[in-house]
Amino acid sequence: MVDAGNKGLLADSAMIAHGRGEAFDYLLGEVTIESASRAIREAAARLKNAKSPVISVNGNTVVLAGEQLIRVAAVLGCPIEVNLYYRTPERVSGLLAMLREQRERVSHEGGPSDFEGEWGSAVMSVPLIGEDPDFRIAGLEGPRSFCTEEGIGLADLVLVPLEDGDRCGALVNSGKDVIVIDLNPLSRSSLGATVTIVDEVSRSSEVLLGEILRCRRGPAEWDNIVGLRDALSVISDSVGRI
């Protein structure tokens, strides 16, 4: 994160967001709690069932979990779109360059044992988009509303780790299923998403990959508040761990 910040790839407030996340992670015990595992299984089912899913990434996410999310995109055959809150052309192209390097590295790995197909070409086929926005997210003002039609614009489901509350709300209002990964169960994105995974982004993205490969069911009825309440109770019980 520090290196990426020094290279100008992150938002000025990226470290504030990161520190806030770490504080919640300590309170959650730095593990994927049971309700987050359930949310990840539901997210896997919805991602597999979606017609045109997309993974939306910001600066923090590319740095922390870019490789994990490229593996997820390779298994799903979906694009990864750079979509920033503090959008500048330099940050978008820098983050896309970082994703291209990550994609190259991941393509040379063995690939998951239960993946059917040729891993290297599946990985290299993941579209990395967001440089030339030709669409706007309805209900959002300014540069943060810019996106691509082939990605977020036409998607029926968006996976958005570390999302800001306004964009999450705008995506939900435009009729999309929105899966958020956020360590803060009380953030507006967590409260507004269709499915919220209260977990650290790199840890949960690895679990998500395994669940997508194993998933044999469709989406279920989902009451998102149940998981958020559980995360809060784990946090309040953390006092009992000392």
Q: Is 169 in the site for ligand PTJ (CB under 6 A)?
A: no
Q: Is 166 in the site for ligand PTJ (CB under 6 A)?
A: no
Q: Is 32 in the site for ligand PTJ (CB under 6 A)?
A: no
Amino acid at 82: V
Q: Is 160 in the site for ligand PTJ (CB under 6 A)?
A: no
User: Which residue has its beta carbon closest to ligand PTJ?
Assistant: 21
Distance CA 52, CA 49 (A): 9
For residues 14 and 43, which CB has a smaller minimum distance to ligand PTJ in the complex?
Answer: 14
How would DSSP label each residue in 63-127?
HHHHHHHHHHHHHHT--EEE--SS--HHHHHHHHHHHHHHHHHHHTS---TT--S-HHHHHHT--
The 10 Å Cβ neighbour count of residue 51 is 8
Identify the residue among 181, 193, 195, 228 touching ligand PTJ (CB under 6 A): 181
Distance CA 68, CA 45 (A): 18
Task: Write down the least CB distance from residue 85 to ligand PTJ, Å.
Answer: 4
For residues 79 and 111, which CB has a smaller minimum distance to ligand PTJ in the complex?
Answer: 79
DSSP 3: H
Identify the residue among 44, 50, 55, 183 touching ligand PTJ (CB under 6 A): 183
Interface region with ligand PTJ, contact rule CB under 6 A, candidates 33-41, 147-155, 176-184, 217-225: 176-184
The 10 Å Cβ neighbour count of residue 230 is 18
Q: Is 13 in the site for ligand PTJ (CB under 6 A)?
A: yes
Task: Write down the least CB distance from residue 62 to ligand PTJ, Å.
Answer: 8
Q: Is 119 in the site for ligand PTJ (CB under 6 A)?
A: no
Are the beta carbons of 109 and 209 closer than 8 angstroms? no
- Ranges of H-type helices in the chain: 2-6, 14-27, 34-49, 59-76, 89-107, 119-124, 165-173, 188-192, 201-214, 224-237
Identify the residue among 32, 35, 56, 60 touching ligand PTJ (CB under 6 A): 60
Grouping H, G, I as helix, E, B as strand and the rest as coil, residue 129 is strand
Q: Is 64 in the site for ligand PTJ (CB under 6 A)?
A: yes
Are the beta carbons of 92 and 144 closer than 8 angstroms? no
Task: Write down the least CB distance from residue 23 to ligand PTJ, Å.
Answer: 8
Q: Is 231 in the site for ligand PTJ (CB under 6 A)?
A: no
Q: Is 93 in the site for ligand PTJ (CB under 6 A)?
A: no
Identify the residue among 68, 184, 194, 196 touching ligand PTJ (CB under 6 A): 184
Binding site for ligand PTJ (CB under 6 A): 11, 13-14, 17-18, 20-21, 24, 58-60, 64, 84-86, 162, 164, 181-184, 187, 200-201
